Amino acid sequence: MIAPSPTTGMPPAPAEFDLELVRKYNVPGPRYTSYPTAPQFTEATPPAALTDAIRRDNQDARRPLSLYFHLPFCETLCWFCGCTTVITLKRDAASVYLDYLEKELALIQPFLNPSRRVAQMHFGGGTPTFLPPPVIRRLGAAIHSRFKFADDSENSVEVDPRRITRDHVRAFRELGCNRASLGVQDTNPAVQLAVHRIQPMDVTGQAFEWMRAEGYHSISIDLIYGLPHQTAESFARTIDEVLTLQPDRLAVFSYAHVPWIKPSQRIFEKQANLPSTEEKLKMLATAVRKLTEAGMVYIGMDHFARADDELAIAQREGTLQRNFQGYSTHAGASIYGFGMSSISQTEDSYRQNLKELPAYYTGLDAGRLPLERGLILSDEDRLRRQVIMRIMCDRRVNYANLSQRLGVDFRDKFAREIESLTDLEADGLLHRDDGGFMVTGVGALLIRIIAMRFDAYLEKGPRRFSRTV
Where on the chain is the footprint of ligand SF4 (CB under 6 A)? 74, 77-78, 81, 83, 85, 125-127, 160, 183
The distance of closest approach from Cβ of residue 68 to ligand SF4 in the complex, given in angstroms and rounded to an integer, is 15
Nearest to 360 by CA among 98, 53, 127: 98
Beta-sheet pairing, 218-225 with 179-185: parallel
As a dihedral over the C-alpha atoms of residue 69, residue 72, residue 78, residue 79, rounded to 10 degrees, the angle is 110
The distance of closest approach from Cβ of residue 46 to ligand SF4 in the complex, given in angstroms and rounded to an integer, is 32
Residue 103 or 162 having the CB closest to ligand SF4: 162
The distance of closest approach from Cβ of residue 192 to ligand SF4 in the complex, given in angstroms and rounded to an integer, is 11
The distance of closest approach from Cβ of residue 74 to ligand SF4 in the complex, given in angstroms and rounded to an integer, is 3
Other Cβ atoms less than 10 A from the Cβ of 292: the count is 14
Residue 37 or 265 having the CB closest to ligand SF4: 265
Residue 12 or 126 having the CB closest to ligand SF4: 126
Residue 161 or 300 having the CB closest to ligand SF4: 161
CA-CA distance, 135 to 427, in Å (whole number)? 54
31-to-185, 303, 465 alpha-carbon distances in Å: 19, 13, 9
Provide the 8-state DSSP code for 464: -
b/e per residue 4-42 (b: at least 16 CB within 10 A): bebbeeebbebeebeeeebeebbeebbbbbbbbbbebbe
Residue 230 or 329 having the CB closest to ligand SF4: 230
The distance of closest approach from Cβ of residue 72 to ligand SF4 in the complex, given in angstroms and rounded to an integer, is 8
Nearest to 371 by CA among 340, 333, 347: 340
Beta-sheet pairing, 343-346 with 349-353: antiparallel
Beta-sheet pairing, 303-306 with 249-254: antiparallel
The distance of closest approach from Cβ of residue 160 to ligand SF4 in the complex, given in angstroms and rounded to an integer, is 5
Residue 83 or 203 having the CB closest to ligand SF4: 83
